[in-house]
Structure 1
Amino acid sequence: MRRHALGQSLGGASNMTDVGVQPLCMESYGSQRAQRYQALPDGRLSCVPDRPENGGYHSLRDIFMSVFLPQGYPESVSPDYLAYQIWDTVQAFASSITGTLATQAVLKGVGVGDETSTVAAATVTWILKDGTGMLGRILFAWSKGSKLDCDAKQWRLFADVLNDVAILMEILAPAFPACFTLIVCVSGFFKCIVGVAGGATRAALTMHQARRDNMADVSAKDGSQETLVNLAGLLFSLLLIPLIVDNLHLTYSLYGLFTALHLYANYRAVRAVCMDTLNRARLRLVLRQFLQGGKVPGPALANPQEPLLLGFQRQLRMTLGAPLHTVASRVVDFQKALEGNSTNYLIFFNQAAGTVSLLLHRQADSMDVIKACTHALVLEALLYGDVATSVLEAKSLLDLQHRLREGDEPGESENKEYATVCETHKLLDKIFPKFLTGLTAAGWVIERNLLGPEEWRVDWTIPGKKTL
């Protein structure tokens, strides 16, 4: 009876006045609902919504949000979640339509509707297509799997461009019957690369968006959103298929239209992502602006400037976490790198080859990795950049740049590189503490990073080791 009375008082609280009512506490459900509890004069507990609902619209909205958005939205996800998901929904719809065009073309190419084709020939073509794709999946995961976390935005855009190329190949394949099997096999190879790159980068972005250790919930709701979009795409495709059968001009026109929409939506989606962990591209951006202006830009300023195309800038080839045998063949080279070094990394610079290799100590943490990568990027700026506009240590940077770029006498190159590394060590000791403080103040996460170090670690602090 008491539980029933309490339920009645909670349910009918909105009809009661606040005269003689004592407030007890406030309660909220994320930012969507708020209500207060009051003690009535007769001792009962009353619940009064602070933001009362206005009937069915809000109820339908709540149902939609519960089904398709993570619990606790928007507090439980990153601030860029909604913008990214909107554009991701648009690109998924466009991809669903172009995928339908490709499927129709492939089915026509393998002989669906053609009385002269055989089931065996179609089956062999399909098996070769799937088998080639499986091989592509394994090879791409082996060669690039460890890099997908570091440059998730770039690889996500790459995957979508490659997906459009694969779809175009499938649409064009029936026009080249002699090469049909080869074309669809290459297309299957590309699509499986897309599956690896797209799935891996989606996981990286989901990890970024999940702010309450709710990665599974964010991923599951993303899957629900994609399923809903694909369902809408299927319904649209049912209306579209009768129009495109035996109409190549309309097929190509629709492919061009939806591919343009797909690429634009993907570009806007990855541009909407604002990651607060440092990868090499973002570290390069913030370091350059720090040297030029003395201040570290925050994630909101740096992310829109991050390049989305891979491999089109002149850069040093950096190996972070390199094994010792790849950079030093003599004991004297190793001993020279250790001289005067008080950091948890060793740096080997080869100007002629355009490479910089960094050996990490076994005890190196995230800040050591950031400092090592910063050191390499300073060398890169001296070699390829313009340090004349720098406000920090401008004279030292210009002197170093002049020495690096001047011609070498025979046999002087190695000594010059060693001297440059020593000078940049001293320079970094001056500016890096301020740089690190600026990173923290600007909102960058430094406890972890996406700089992509290899797994090799060196311990050069062994007690009782032999010195030469």
Structure 2
Amino acid sequence: MAEMEDCEGVIATERYGSQESWKYLLKDGRMKRQKDAADGRLAGNSISGVFKSVFLPQGYPESVSEDYLQYQLWDTVQAFSSSLSGTLATQASLRGVGVGNQEATVAAATITWLLRGMCTNDLRSFLSACFSNHFLPLFSDGTGMLGRILFAWLKGNKLDSEAKKWRLFADILNDVAMFMEIAAPHFPPFFTLIVCIAGIFKSIVGVAGGATRAALTVHQARRNNMADISAKDGSQETLVNLAGLLISLALIPLVTDNPLLTFILFFLFTVLHLFANYKAVRSVVMGTLNEARLSIVFHRYLLHGQLLSPVEANQKEPVFLSLGRTVPIKLGVRLGDIVQEPGELQLALKNNSKPYLIGIKNGTVCVCLGSDASVRDEIMAACQALCLRAVLHDDSSLSGALKQLSNTKDPWELVSQSHKMINQVFHTFLKELDQAKWHTDRTLLDWNEWRVEWSKKRS
């Protein structure tokens, strides 16, 4: 091959990412460019190349995370099933506000609605313009706006640290809202109330879904190409919605005036939607530590001396919001949440030379962070808080070091002993985190913004 290239006069070669390679030949005094015959991966497949350039980020697959393709495939399935479920909900809402009494009228109105291409949030305004139920859009839009503001205020800081959980929660809530819209026409006295509650749910879905999608885009971007990934995701979603629209046009005449078939199809689409969403968030492998992943990795390390890789830890990470009772951890609290008198400050500083304070108040592990604390100090503080939570929770799987801590009943003495324990294990643990390719220069731990400076004098 080398002799052939020499005789053909190869003067340069070039490659488009990992997709294709070309060479420049000098022949008869002229330069000619041709595809490298040895590169057979995508040779001659122009349709595939155009499809990738339209719907995938530039530089794919090197420009995105390794889990990008698997996530997007499942995300496409869930978007398609959600589009069909939305059609059924739209058709039911139109019937509920009195769009005619004949099958053709309902079908025509729904098809017109779909072809207009309006978003779900505009449904109430559309109905208001067409029908006499003026209070429906007023209540629904108003309650939806309030719900959006309240949810962003209460849970906005959780959407980064627990993106997987809130992503799945948003999709489940969206299915609940669509089910309420489908069921609402069968309860005429409560139609407005049901639709308003569904509107609140959908407003929460808008906040949680949009914010967590942005967080996942940050994870997927490998070349500061968030905007490109987001734009291509929009193109993929538009293509899926177009396919859903075509299927919906054939589906509407079948379900019109047939509530049983509507509920059956909605159930099937919802099952597919939830399954695809579960597989999508399960496919995401984040190398940044949040509370759940750090807890899994650190406790496995204490129990077995084994450090889980990002892939292994993400497989074990829960993706559903927990309703079980556990000892809460508050990171970045005010000093007054830990210390109420000078003597308690001295107790908090016992055996502690770290830029953070830990205390146990009212069954909650509280961490007060110093203004000079680094990211690694934050990880250390979170690990110590997780140890204290495991001891307070009376976890039956405690390791030897934690079992010794469990024998201590006084809260401040427990904190003091935990400082000694964390000093023994953390630096080795942190070194192995780096070796396992975990990101230790940043975290997704849910720290509040309080930073404190205190007297370094200790008893």
Residue 89 (structure 2) pairs with residue 84 (structure 1): no
Structure 1 residues 389 and 197 mapped into 2: Cα distance closer, same or farther (>3 Å)?
A: closer
SS in 2 for 1:359: strand
Residue 142 (structure 2) pairs with residue 131 (structure 1): yes
Structure 1 residues 448 and 323 mapped into 2: Cα distance closer, same or farther (>3 Å)?
A: same
Residue 241 (structure 2) pairs with residue 230 (structure 1): yes
SS in 2 for 1:127: helix
- Displacement of 1:126: 2.1
Q: CA offsets, 1:132-153, max 9 Å, x none?
A: 1111111101110011000000
Q: 2:338 aligns with which of 309, 327, 350?
A: 327
Q: CA offsets, 1:18-48, max 9 Å, x none?
A: 45244444321111111233455x6544434
Q: 1:444 aligns with which of 438, 444, 458?
A: 438
Structure 1, gaps ≥5 residues long: 1-16, 405-415
Give the residue type in structure 2 aligned to 1:155.
Answer: W
Give the residue type in structure 2 aligned to 1:31.
Answer: S
Match of 1:403 in 2: 408
- Displacement of 1:335: 2.9
Match of 1:50 in 2: 36
The whole-number CA distance in structure 2 between the counterparts of 1:335 and 1:38 is: 78
Q: 2:81 aligns with which of 73, 94, 99?
A: 94
1:148-227 correspondence to structure 2 within 5 Å: 148-227=159-238
Deviates more, 1:419-428 or 1:277-286: 419-428
TM-score by length of 2: 0.89
The whole-number CA distance in structure 2 between the counterparts of 1:18 and 1:455 is: 63
Residue 390 (structure 2) pairs with residue 381 (structure 1): yes
Structure 1 residues 148 and 29 mapped into 2: Cα distance closer, same or farther (>3 Å)?
A: same
- Displacement of 1:332: 1.8
The whole-number CA distance in structure 1 between the counterparts of 2:247 and 2:241 is: 10
Match of 1:286 in 2: 297
Q: CA offsets, 1:262-297, max 9 Å, x none?
A: 000000000000010000000000011101121210
Q: CA offsets, 1:221-246, max 9 Å, x none?
A: 00000011011111110000001110
Contact map agreement 2:303 2:398 (CA 8 A) in 1 = yes
Match of 1:3 in 2: none
Q: 2:368 aligns with which of 359, 367, 370?
A: 359
Q: 2:311 aligns with which of 300, 303, 321?
A: 300
- Displacement of 1:452: 1.1
Give the residue type in structure 2 aligned to 1:316.
Answer: V
- Displacement of 1:322: 0.1
Aligned structure 1 segments of 4 or more residues deviating by more than 4 angstroms: 51-57, 117-120, 385-389
Identical counterparts, % of pairs = 53
Computed over aligned residues only, the root mean square deviation of the Cα atoms, in angstroms, reads 2.3
The whole-number CA distance in structure 2 between the counterparts of 1:319 and 1:54 is: 52
- Displacement of 1:56: 9.9
Contact map agreement 2:351 2:419 (CA 8 A) in 1 = no
Contact map agreement 2:329 2:366 (CA 8 A) in 1 = yes
Match of 1:409 in 2: none
Contact map agreement 1:24 1:39 (CA 8 A) in 2 = yes
The whole-number CA distance in structure 2 between the counterparts of 1:95 and 1:126 is: 23
Deviates more, 1:322-331 or 1:294-303: 322-331
SS in 1 for 2:161: coil
The whole-number CA distance in structure 2 between the counterparts of 1:120 and 1:388 is: 62
Give the residue type in structure 1 aligned to 2:75.
Answer: D
Give the residue type in structure 1 aligned to 2:444.
Answer: L
Structure 1 residues 247 and 28 mapped into 2: Cα distance closer, same or farther (>3 Å)?
A: same
- Displacement of 1:73: 0.4
1:111-126 correspondence to structure 2 within 5 Å: 111-113=98-100, 121-126=132-137
Give the residue type in structure 2 aligned to 1:379.
Answer: L
Contact map agreement 1:110 1:125 (CA 8 A) in 2 = no
SS in 2 for 1:403: coil
Q: CA offsets, 1:183-229, max 9 Å, x none?
A: 00000000000000000000000000011000000000000000110
Give the residue type in structure 1 aligned to 2:74.
Answer: W
Contact map agreement 2:289 2:439 (CA 8 A) in 1 = yes
Give the residue type in structure 2 aligned to 1:49.
Answer: K
- Displacement of 1:123: 3.0
Corresponding pairs, count: 430
- Displacement of 1:339: 3.5
- Displacement of 1:113: 1.3
Deviates more, 1:322-331 or 1:197-206: 322-331
